[in-house]
A and B are shown apart, each in its own frame.
Chain A
């Protein structure tokens, strides 16, 4: 407590109105100094601390000691959840450039930017020979160009055609020979679409029960 009394009274002193008012004014005008700094724990009695502008945690040089407690330990904010003490994650979110570069170890990933990471599929789809789409991600449409030939149009383009790596395979078998899938370079791979073929062992175009396409690369 930083607040001091105005008058230290002795026996036979006369309490005047002015002196009494001065003592109360001292308390009322310096309310914060009345309890700050504390000399013991402060209980909120189960109520909230609201409208706090900023909390300054001193370095306790130790981690949170009991369930439900936060504590600063050097540069870490520690949290005790009842099973143990953990450092809370803090820092900036990764930009799309940082995600694509896979270079920073100090920023953290958010859901909507996960798709920019180079190791994440930018497009995937499972469809039938007639172009009917099953599960998919980042696909606008399937174009059925004839037996064993389809084009997948993506919703968000790759940055360039050369930045793509597609994989295509068949699930099931609608013909006498299991079809093999490959990327049709003649049909063209563009930033916004890819053309894929299925052939049988003789190299003849063939439908499949289900075609699966998976695309990696740099996204826009």
Chain B
């Protein structure tokens, strides 16, 4: 298996990586589309070490791809929204049940909790902006508000 890689940028800005089956560069180059830019030959060790944030890989000219941090932050924020969805659903259900029971004090806390969940992406975005590496973004755990229910 070849360790050579051919990287290029597609017209949509995303990065592609060609993995040749053997070290036959003439044949491997046949896979480069005519609209590719930033075509560059490198080795597998020149690529980002993990596929975490793979869709944020970008090239700065004809060079190995790197993780574009603004795009990676955006992706991490999307993940936080995805993780938030079931929590929001639970908060809505808890609030409805509590209101039906007539527990006004708990209902008020649940409304506040639900609002904190709704506001979470905005509050987390600022924290994500402070993270400077893909590894930090990967490790980051949002400050989920405590569920009063």
Contacts and interface: CB of A to CB of B under 8 A. Distances in A.
A192 interface: yes
Nearest to B53: A147
B14 A145 contact: yes
Interface string B1-29: 10000000010001111111100100110
B16 A144 contact: yes
A78 interface: no
A172 interface: no
A93 interface: no
B96 to A, nearest CB: 25
Sorting the interface of chain A by its residue count into under 10, 10 to 19, 20 to 34 or 35 or more gives 20 to 34
A192 B30 contact: yes
Category for how many chain B residues contact A: 20 to 34
B8 to A, nearest CB: 9
Contacts of A146: 14-16, 54-55, 57
A210 interface: no
Given A133-B19, A136-B21, A143 B31 contact: yes
A155 B47 CA distance: 26
B118 to A, nearest CB: 22
Contact of A207 (B16, B19, B51): B51
A169 interface: no
